[in-house]
């Protein structure tokens, strides 16, 4: 049986072609399952990043508790009023000062701000509220608490422009 007949060779080739087709189908199925699994993973990650439209009772309770903690005590309110009054006086005195007093010093014929590169950060300052440190000192001395600069309690005069 050394010699193979044409029918046997044809049968072997047909079997090999069937096996190759089966393997290609299996490979395509595995690739499709991998794509579906990847899409499912990405969808799950996206759902994890979504914020719910409605807050839970626990979230509402926590927010209410934080709001209660953020309320100023009468002492803190008095300290804030005193600091606001003091900083108003400081701002009025600064506005009333003569121009030569308000002008910055010179460095090699240029204003210090320009000579030392202040212009580099100037665009950043357009969007950065600055708080007068004297306000914070007076506030702390009076027993007040520091308020974030967008707080409705922080007086406008404390914000430098």
- The C-alpha atoms of residue 9 and residue 16 are separated, in whole angstroms, by 10
Query: Domain range for residue 100?
Result: 73-160
109 assigned to some structural domain: yes
If asked whether residues 25 and 83 sit together in one domain, one would say no
Residues 78 and 155 in one domain: yes
- Residues 155 and 77 reside in one and the same domain: yes
> Both 36 and 78 in a single domain?
no
Q: Cα separation of 117 and 115, whole Å? A: 6
Whether residue 131 lies inside any domain: the answer is: yes
Residue 108 lies in a domain: yes
Q: Is the same domain home to 86 and 143?
A: yes
pLDDT in tens, 83-123: 888 888 988 888 898 888 877 778 888 888 888 888 898 88
Task: List pLDDT tens digits, range 116-134.
Answer: 888 898 888 888 777 778 8
Mean pLDDT for 29-58 is: 89
In a domain, 41, yes or no: yes
Secondary structure E strands in 14-134: 106-107, 110-111, 130-131
Q: Band of the pLDDT at 161, cuts 50, 70, 90?
A: very low
| Any domain includes 65 | no
66 located within any domain? no
Q: Return the DSSP state at 159.
A: E
Q: Is residue 128 part of a domain?
A: yes
Could you tell me the pTM of the whole model?
0.45
SS3 label, residue 33: helix
Cα–Cα distance measured from residue 21 to residue 13, given in angstroms and rounded to the nearest whole number: 12
Whether residue 18 has pLDDT greater than 90: yes
Residue 55 placed within a domain: no
Same domain, 45 and 100: no
- Mean pLDDT for 33-46 is 93
Query: Is there a single domain that holds both residue 87 and residue 131?
Result: yes
Query: What is the C-alpha to C-alpha distance for residues 15 and 5, in angstroms, rounded to an integer?
Result: 15
């Amino acid at each position: 049986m050394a010699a193979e007949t044409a029918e046997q060779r044809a049968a072997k080739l047909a079997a090999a072609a069937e096996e190759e087709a089966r393997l290609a189908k299996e490979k395509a199925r595995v690739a499709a399952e991998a794509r579906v699994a990847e899409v499912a993973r990405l969808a799950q990650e996206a759902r994890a990043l979504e914020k719910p439209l409605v807050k839970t009772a626990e979230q509402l309770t926590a927010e209410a508790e934080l709001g209660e903690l953020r309320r100023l005590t009468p002492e803190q309110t008095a300290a804030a009023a005193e600091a606001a009054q003091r900083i108003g006086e400081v701002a009025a005195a600064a506005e009333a000062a003569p121009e030569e007093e308000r002008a910055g010093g010179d460095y090699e014929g240029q204003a210090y701000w320009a000579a030392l590169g202040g212009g580099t950060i100037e665009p950043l300052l357009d969007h950065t509220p600055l708080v007068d440190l004297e306000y914070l000192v007076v506030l702390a001395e009076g027993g007040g608490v520091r308020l974030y600069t967008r707080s409705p309690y922080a007086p406008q005069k404390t914000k430098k422009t």
